[in-house]
Amino acid sequence: MASPTPSIQDFLEPLHVDLEKVHLLSQSFLRTFEKLALESQNMFLPTPVTESILRPAHQGRQGCHLAIDIGGTNLRVGFVELRPKEPAATQVDGHADDTPERMQRRMEKSWPIDDHLKNENSDRLFLWIGKCIAEVVLDGCKELHLPVDREIPLGVTFSFPMVQHSLSEATLMTMGKGFAISSNLNLGARLLDGYNRAKSPELPPIRVEAIANDSVSTLVSFVFTYDESNTKRGTMGLILGTGCNATIPLKLSQLHPSKRPQQVPVGAGEVIDDVKITINTEWSINGSAPPLRELGLMSRWDKVLDSQNESPGFQPLEYMTAGRYLGELGRIMLVDYMTSNLGIVAGTLPAKLLQRHGLTTTFLSHFRPLESPDLLSRLKTEFPESSGSAAFKWTEDLAAALYHIAKAIEVRAAGIVAAATLALLTLAGDVPPDGSPAVVQACKLGVGYTGGCIVHFQDYLSDCQQFLDQLLEKRLGNESLLEVILSPCHDGGITGAGILVAAAALSTQNCATVIEVE
What is the structure's pLDDT at 59? Answer: 45
- The verdict on 471 and 499 lying in the same domain is no
CATH of the domain at 19: 3.40.367.20
What is the structure's pLDDT at 58? Answer: 46
What is the structure's pLDDT at 516? Answer: 55
By DSSP bridging, strand 244-251 and strand 276-280 are antiparallel
Alpha-helical (H) ranges within 73-150 are 115-119, 122-144
DSSP for 303-365, written as a single string: HHHHHHSSSTTS-HHHHHHSHHHHHHHHHHHHHHIIIIIS---GGGS-GGGGSTT-S-HHHHH
Helix crossing, 187-198 with 122-144: angle to 10°?
Answer: 60
CATH of the domain at 500: 3.30.420.40
Torsion angle of alpha carbons 12, 285, 493, 34, nearest 10°? 100
Residue 32 located in a structural domain: yes
DSSP for 251-309, written as a single string: EGGGS-GGGS-SEEEE-TT--GGG-EEEEE--TTSGGGHHHHHHTT---HHHHHHHHHS
- The verdict on 14 and 74 lying in the same domain is no
- The verdict on 78 and 16 lying in the same domain is no
- The verdict on 29 and 127 lying in the same domain is no
- The verdict on 369 and 483 lying in the same domain is yes
- The verdict on 512 and 469 lying in the same domain is no
Alpha-helical (H) ranges within 145-232 are 187-198, 214-225
What is the structure's pLDDT at 371? Answer: 61
Determine the Cα–Cα distance for residues 485 and 19; give it in Å rounded to an integer: 18
What is the structure's pLDDT at 507? Answer: 59
Residue 197 located in a structural domain: yes
CA distance to 32, 201, 230, 268, 357, per residue, from 424 (Å): 10, 48, 21, 27, 32
Residue 35 located in a structural domain: yes
- The verdict on 27 and 140 lying in the same domain is no
Residue 484 located in a structural domain: yes
Determine the Cα–Cα distance for residues 27 and 515; give it in Å rounded to an integer: 35
| Residue 346 CB neighbours (<10 A) | 12
Q: Which domain holds residue 77?
A: 46-86+97-228+492-516
What is the structure's pLDDT at 56? Answer: 62
In a 10 Å sphere around its CB, with 0-12 CB exposed, 13-18 middle and 19+ buried, how is residue 273 labelled? Answer: exposed
Residues with Cβ within 8 Å of 189's Cβ and at least 6 positions away in sequence, in order, are none
- The verdict on 483 and 465 lying in the same domain is yes
Percent of the chain with pLDDT over 90: 63
- The verdict on 205 and 309 lying in the same domain is no
Could you give the 3-state DSSP secondary structure of residue 100? coil
Considering only CA atoms, give the Rg of the chain.
24
What is the structure's pLDDT at 310? Answer: 78
Could you give the 3-state DSSP secondary structure of residue 449? strand
Question: For the chain, how long is the longest CA-to-CA vector?
Answer: 77
- The verdict on 399 and 378 lying in the same domain is yes
What is the structure's pLDDT at 84? Answer: 72
Give the amino acid at 370.
Answer: L
Domain count across the chain: 2
Our measurement of the distance from residue 429's CA atom to the centroid of its chain's CA atoms, rounded to an integer in Å, reads 21
- Sign, CA torsion 327/328/329/330: positive
Residue 444 located in a structural domain: no
Determine the Cα–Cα distance for residues 235 and 269; give it in Å rounded to an integer: 23
Determine the Cα–Cα distance for residues 500 and 222; give it in Å rounded to an integer: 12
Beta sheet of 276-280, edge-to-edge order: 45-50, 276-280, 244-251, 232-240, 443-450, 482-488
Residue in 289, 291, 334 with CA at minimum distance from that of residue 313: 289
| Residue 441 CB neighbours (<10 A) | 8
- From first to last of its 518 residues, the chain has per-residue pLDDT tens of 556 677 899 999 999 999 999 999 999 999 999 999 999 988 998 888 888 778 764 444 578 999 999 987 899 999 999 877 665 544 344 433 334 477 899 999 999 988 887 776 788 889 999 999 999 999 999 999 988 889 999 999 998 878 887 888 888 876 655 565 666 789 999 999 999 999 999 999 999 999 998 899 999 999 988 878 888 999 999 999 989 999 999 999 999 988 887 667 666 667 788 889 999 999 998 899 999 999 999 999 999 999 998 788 888 999 999 999 999 999 999 999 999 999 999 999 999 999 999 999 999 999 998 666 789 999 999 999 999 888 899 999 999 999 999 999 999 999 999 999 999 999 999 999 988 877 778 899 999 999 999 999 999 999 999 999 999 999 988 778 899 999 999 999 999 999 999 887 665 554 445 555 55
pTM assigned to the model:
0.88
Beta bridge partners of 485: 446
By DSSP bridging, strand 74-82 and strand 482-488 are unpaired
What is the structure's pLDDT at 185? Answer: 83
Residue 263 located in a structural domain: no
